[in-house]
Structure 1
Amino acid sequence: MATETSAEVPKTARQFVLKEEVIVERKWLKLEETTYTDPNGKTRTWETVKRAGRKKGVSADGVAVIAVLQRTLHYDCVVLVKQFRPPINGYCLEFPAGLIEENETAESAALRELEEETGYKGEVVECTPALCLDPGLSNSTTHIVSVTINGDEAENTRPKQKLDDGGMLHTVLPVTFKVKCDLSVFYLENVS
């Protein structure tokens, strides 16, 4: 039988940020040294990556789109994109994703990114609140947006990507049962 432990921090041990100093800032990211107090009241520092130029009027930095392509007489497919990522010097299978534009909703950003990266047009089913992706490293936040795509509609039978200059993505359509059964094998087959 598992025992329950409390994750509550004692009120006497308040943690808070004292200061944030920018070390370097570029177009998309900045590196900061964050000075904070730990639970024992000791002052510590942390290297933090932050989004540069956060947009006004947006609820998060970006969106990730979990899109399911549905077609008559076909298995449902999860829509993924394969693209080269310089930080890891390799290819990744990813959900279509991107940044939210100024005064744009997460839902409209998701539909825009889906169409740009895959050519598909879909309908939003659900959108999560803003989620932290890697809070030990960054303040980056995203919404996960579920979308269905009617693959029988004419606009979705031969989708054409609308990529930005320099964009190089390949759309990959694994059937949902294969993703559920053995995602690691599917990943290895399609990325290597």
Structure 2
Amino acid sequence: MFKQLFKPTTTTTTTTTLIKRFMSASTPIKNSPFKAKVTSIEPLTNGKWIQTKKINYDDPNGNSRVWEMAIRTTRSTTTNIDAVSIVSILHNHANDSKEIVLVKQFRPPTEQVVIELPAGLIDPNESIESTAIRELIEETGYYGTFKSQSIPIFSDPGLTNANMVLAYVDVDLNDPKNQSPQPKLEPGEFIITFTLPLNNLLHSLEEICEKENCTIDARLYHFAKGLELAQQL
């Protein structure tokens, strides 16, 4: 998949246009996620969205052991999947250039703004495909075509049973609905949407982090590193 998505380009006009468009369509500066901060941290046993559990299990030698984990309370019973993370590629057919749609948002556990792939929880009775399409529209304003999905994958298996599916959604810039994308954020969401060329994606992400003092979600970093390795191998 990396080799199919990656194609170097020397054209910069499209990139500049995309970034300028998103700067005007992003969250107003007064609601910038960079203004958020943690004010306190308190012990929590069972919360509205997350609970902690103690697991008793036997290791391969028959010894009884204990493990602590966190779980989401919102897992969809329809799909048995917690969330969808979206790889969305913008195609400009005029010059065959490709860019990836990304978001920045403040994540309280990290106390930083995190660069991520668009993502969201699966609502009750919602499919993986409909979640991917809906979340892409809500967070970025882009209308896309669902192409494929991964097997269920786990975000941090040493800490939680939270799982997700990686969805690939194609966005056609020639579609009139994608000429002036406007995110449809919910109350309490403060997200900046932007795009980066697939070419040299990892380098671009690291430059942004150094300049803006933010960090990168591991899944996005692994994706970018995979693109880099695909060039080298």
Q: TM-score normalized by structure 1?
A: 0.82
Aligned counterparts of 2:49 and 2:147: Cα–Cα separation in 1: 30
* Structure 2 residue 48 is matched with structure 1 residue 27: yes
CA gap of 1:27–1:136, structure 2 versus 1, over 3 A, is same
2:64 paired residue number:
43
Letter in 2 for 1:32: K
Kept after mapping to 1: 8 A contact 2:85/2:119: yes
Match of 1:150 among 172, 176, 179: 172
Aligned counterparts of 1:79 and 1:162: Cα–Cα separation in 2: 15
1:58 paired residue number:
79
CA gap of 1:191–1:124, structure 2 versus 1, over 3 A, is farther
Deviations 1:102-145 (A, max 9, x none): 12111110010000000000011111121111111100010000
The gaps in structure 2 that reach 5 residues or longer are 1-43, 215-233
Tell me by how many angstroms 1:70 deviates. 1.2
More RCO (CA 8 Å, sep 6+): 2
1:92 paired residue number:
114
Letter in 1 for 2:140: T
Kept after mapping to 1: 8 A contact 2:103/2:117: yes
Answer 1 or 2: which has greater strand percent.
1
Moved more, 112-121 or 51-60: 51-60
Aligned counterparts of 2:102 and 2:200: Cα–Cα separation in 1: 13
Q: Percent sequence identity over matched residues?
A: 34
Aligned counterparts of 2:69 and 2:209: Cα–Cα separation in 1: 30
Answer 1 or 2: which has greater helix percent.
2
Aligned counterparts of 2:88 and 2:152: Cα–Cα separation in 1: 18
* Structure 2 residue 128 is matched with structure 1 residue 106: yes
* Structure 2 residue 193 is matched with structure 1 residue 171: yes
Q: Secondary structure at the match of 1:49?
A: strand
The gaps in structure 1 that reach 5 residues or longer are 1-22
Q: TM-score normalized by structure 2?
A: 0.68
Tell me by how many angstroms 1:181 deviates. 5.4
Q: Give the paired residue count.
A: 170
Aligned counterparts of 1:182 and 1:127: Cα–Cα separation in 2: 26
Kept after mapping to 1: 8 A contact 2:75/2:122: no
Moved more, 157-166 or 48-57: 48-57
Instruction: Answer with 1 or 2: which has the greater Rg.
Output: 1
CA gap of 1:156–1:60, structure 2 versus 1, over 3 A, is same
